[in-house]
Amino acid sequence: MTRINGTPPPPVPPAVATPPASGRDGRSSRPDAGEAAGRPGTGEAGPTGPGAPSRRAATVGRVAAGAAGLASAALALGAGELVAGLGSSLRSPVEAVATEVINRAPRPVERFAIETFGTNDKLALIVGTLAITAVLGVVFGIVARRRPLAGAAGFAFFALVGVLASVGAPRAGALAALPSLAAGVAGAATLRLLVPPAGRPVALPPSPLTRGGTGSRRAFLGATAAVAAGAAMMAAGGRALKGRFSAAASRADVTLPRPARPLPPVPAGVEAGVDGLAPFVTPNRDFYRIDTALIVPQVRAEEWTLRVTGMVDRTYELTYGELSELDVVEADITMTCVSNPVGGDLVGHARWLGVLTRDLLDRAGVRRGADQVVGRSADGYTCGFPLSAAYDRPALVAIGMNGEPLPLRHGFPARLVTPGIYGYVGGTKWLTEIEVTTFAAFDQYWVPRGYAAAAPIKTMTRIDTPRSFEAVPAGRVVVGGVAWAQTRGIEAVEISIDGGEFEPVQLADELTAESWRQWRHEWDATPGRHDLVVRAVDGTGVTQTVERAEVVPDGASGWMSLVVTVSDGEAAT
């Protein structure tokens, strides 16, 4: 014992053990050692005030981590949509990836999508892409519990896929990568915030997904809801920003020119007068849409130009106003998609307004040796059809459809309409360029994917009413349908019932050789099960082939047949 100035120090009182205070359940009510007194043997003190960061082991459960990953993926998509809204040429990760899927899908996948979902194939693709993203988000969240870098790497991979899909698009620059990069960063950062690494102490503010501190089910739900709300707000904001580039207002301002020789109204005689039959003129809202554009391109008429290039004497360019001032004509044309199965509905009729394709080609001067006309779209799509088809039929660069400017989804401001050949070779929408070339020099979009370079529309007829397996009462039953063989016309339609001889049906009046033709047949139906088969004869006298062929490479063929059940009782007359 030392002395200071010769005075002994005061005695040290003996240590007194103080029993811990207990709660009602007999457990200690003192703060946990890792919460207030530091970790034993580390010499580290715990927090000294409210809200101070703690060093604690995160204990995020699998379900909570999966939910956090899902929320992070949603926020990533929202961030991508928001950044994509900043520029007209920027695409969100979902749009970019889904478009790449369309471009690279194997033929069986493409056929399955069209046959299963029809004109809703693009919606199904978007929903599928979102579902896959959601599943990946859950996986990233669960993985991040033990391996936080792996969770971040998952979102980095997510961003990389989007970047590659974005910059690989036609005319895409480096800036196209921004939405996907923003999505990846947002997803990884959100996941790191919501899911601290498990099993190790981390110096972080209390997380709503961990036990202890402020962690609770209520906090977790609140945090998840906040992230989800942020994702929704970002997505909505991106869509609102994207709306600035819509062509709807441009279309609304268009006044179509009047043709020098307008066609008379469609006569009533082209209708067969059968309930359940497709109308002769297909309303624009009901006209089928099959194309490769996931999102409808927004091309404003005031900014649009059409270039005529290739094997021509004079390359030139027209604005929308200049095109409208040329000699415009009307034409009644039925269009058919190559993906239309036997008896399918991917066919429709409209009265089109536009400039004859041959007039535009003659203005440029087609050089000897050319045999193909290529149409290029604003979204990079290409079609190609024989040069002769621009001269031996009323092929158009169309700007109007059924008395109004082309709908956005059908190619506004201008598209190709070439009768007698399937749309994939002669119907480019959102047209920006006509190139004169040769089949030897260029393959259009679908040729490398297994489709034919030349695809004349095959003679076809279908039954619209009664429907397959429909039950009808006995007595007089009116069977009705349509037939088409564009540029050749329809000479006859014949029906066979229960394997009997084919007999002719009653045809409605023909409008043009480029138009479909309605028909009807009155049948004295007896009770029981009956098989109906129909075939058509084109204007050259050739009967529709019975041979079944798939859509690829140049359109389906075969006779349509269906089964009808006739019940006891009389049909209404």
pLDDT tens by residue, 25-57: 444 444 443 333 444 444 344 444 444 444 444
Three-class secondary structure assignment of 317-351: EEEHHHHHCCCEEEEEEEEECCCCCCCCCCEEEEE
Q: What band does 199 get if pLDDT is binned at 50, 70 and 90?
A: very low
Three-class secondary structure assignment of 109-149: HHHHHHHHHHHHHHHHHHHHHHHHHHHHHHHHHHHHHHCHH
Identify the pLDDT of residue 170. 76
Q: What band does 570 get if pLDDT is binned at 50, 70 and 90?
A: low
199 versus 82: the higher-pLDDT residue is 82
In a domain, 20, yes or no: no
Task: Tell me the CATH number at 433.
Answer: 3.90.420.10
Mean pLDDT of 313-342: 97
In a domain, 425, yes or no: yes
Identify the pLDDT of residue 145. 87
Identify the pLDDT of residue 18. 44
Identify the pLDDT of residue 265. 97
| CB-count exposure of residue 570 (10 Å: 0-12, 13-18, 19+) | exposed
Nearest of 237, 259, 293 to residue 412 by alpha carbon: 293
- Is the pLDDT at 202 greater than 90, yes or no? no
Same domain? For 91 and 183 the reply is yes
Tens digit of pLDDT for each residue in 541-563?
A: 999 999 999 999 999 999 999 99
In a domain, 273, yes or no: yes
Question: How far is 144 from 60, CA to CA, in rounded Å?
Answer: 10
- Is the pLDDT at 112 greater than 90, yes or no? no
Question: How far is 424 from 90, CA to CA, in rounded Å?
Answer: 26
Same domain? For 277 and 381 the reply is yes
What lies within 8 Å, CB to CB, of 70 at 6+ separation is 134, 137, 138, 141
Is the bond preceding residue 466 a cis peptide, omega within 30 degrees? yes
Structure tokens given for 545: 């082939």
- Is the pLDDT at 118 greater than 70, yes or no? yes
Give the number of residues written for the chain. Answer: 573
Count of domains for the chain: 3
Count other Cβ atoms within 10 Å, centred on residue 178. 17
Same domain? For 429 and 313 the reply is yes
Mean pLDDT of 250-274: 97
Of 15-29, 54-68, 266-280, 455-469, the one with minimum mean pLDDT is 15-29
Of 53-57, 268-272, 306-310, 348-352, the one with minimum mean pLDDT is 53-57
Same domain? For 466 and 436 the reply is no
Q: What band does 198 get if pLDDT is binned at 50, 70 and 90?
A: low
- Is the pLDDT at 16 greater than 90, yes or no? no
Range of the domain at 272: 268-449
Tens digit of pLDDT for each residue in 300-320?
A: 999 999 999 999 999 999 999
Identify the pLDDT of residue 203. 39
Identify the pLDDT of residue 64. 87
End-to-end CA distance of the chain: 126
Tens digit of pLDDT for each residue in 126-145?
A: 999 999 999 999 999 999 98
Mean pLDDT of 220-237: 88
- Is the pLDDT at 354 greater than 70, yes or no? yes
Q: What band does 216 get if pLDDT is binned at 50, 70 and 90?
A: low
In a domain, 81, yes or no: yes
Mean pLDDT of 418-443: 98
Same domain? For 212 and 316 the reply is no
Identify the pLDDT of residue 201. 40
In a domain, 31, yes or no: no
Same domain? For 90 and 204 the reply is yes
Mean pLDDT of 110-115: 78
- Is the pLDDT at 454 greater than 70, yes or no? yes
Same domain? For 232 and 281 the reply is no
pTM for the structure as a whole: 0.80
Identify the pLDDT of residue 78. 96
Identify the pLDDT of residue 523. 96
Question: How far is 79 from 76, CA to CA, in rounded Å?
Answer: 5
In a domain, 483, yes or no: yes
Same domain? For 222 and 78 the reply is yes
Question: How far is 402 from 351, CA to CA, in rounded Å?
Answer: 5
Mean pLDDT of 85-97: 92
Instruction: Identify the domain boundary among 383, 416, 449.
Output: 449
Same domain? For 334 and 403 the reply is yes
Same domain? For 220 and 156 the reply is yes
Tens digit of pLDDT for each residue in 358-401?
A: 999 999 999 999 999 999 999 999 999 999 999 999 999 999 99
Calculate the average pLDDT of the chain. 87
Same domain? For 369 and 428 the reply is yes
- Inter-residue contact 306 to 323 (CB < 8 Å): yes
Identify the pLDDT of residue 45. 42
**CA angle at 131 for the pair 129 and 99, rounded to the nearest 5°:** 5
Tens digit of pLDDT for each residue in 141-174?
A: 999 988 989 999 999 999 999 999 999 877 788 8
Task: Tell me the CATH number at 522.
Answer: 2.60.40.650
In a domain, 16, yes or no: no
Identify the pLDDT of residue 120. 83
Question: How far is 566 from 570, CA to CA, in rounded Å?
Answer: 10
How many Cα atoms occupy the beta-carbon half-sphere of 422 within 13 Å? 26
